[in-house]
Amino acid sequence: MALTIESLNFEYTGRVLFRGFAMQAGAGITWLRGENGAGKTTLMKLVAGAMAPHHGRIAIDGIDQAAQPLAYRRQCFYCGGDTPQLPWLTVREMLDLHVALYPGTDAALLDEELRAMRLLPVLNQPVSALSLGQHKKMQLALAFALPVAVLLIDEPFNGLDAAAMDYVRGRLAAREGVVLLTSHLEPQVPVAQVIQL
């Protein structure tokens, strides 16, 4: 199981972020490090398919992002800090929307994650009513329940209380598959490799 990036080029107007960038991440945690503005979140969004590279190839186990976009996206999930674009949905509706995109999701496992994150009482609330920490917990519960090969987690500990941070560290340490994460804090979990951007 591997995430492969080859000859990646990407730039914003007048600012080159990646030129010929290449990396490979196998099973375990790959920690992306770098100063603010180094391109960590942009790289995550490129890998997730939320943004398109100007050149290069991104693949998961040989499934090419550009050639097989649906098959590729079913292999990864991006857990970022962005506010949902569908704020009128309830938490349960938002979860159901994501679960529908990932065949084979174990509903019982998702319920376990929601219980562990203490989100069961807010399932019928609008997503817009969630605090920053609850929003992050909702995304993390999905991330740990979906049957994907690659998890992309941007700043997993932002907004979390101490108990939730401990739980997330335990789930990350036990996770099979590829985990790509950014964190300004030491993750305090076993890391397979560190990539400095």
| Sheet (strand 15-26) strand order | 15-26, 2-12, 55-60, 63-64
Instruction: Give the count of domains, the chain.
Output: 1
- CATH code at position 48: 3.40.50.300
| Sheet (strand 28-33) strand order | 76-79, 150-154, 178-182, 28-33, 193-196
* pLDDT one-digit tens code per residue, 98-128: 999 998 899 999 999 999 999 999 999 999 8
pTM of the model: 0.89
Q: Tell me how far apart the alpha carbons of residues 18 and 33 are, in angstroms, rounded to a whole number.
A: 15
pLDDT at 86: 75
pLDDT at 84: 64
Contact 172, 79 (CB under 8 A): no
Domain that holds residue 188: 2-196
- Segment 175-179 shows an average pLDDT of 93
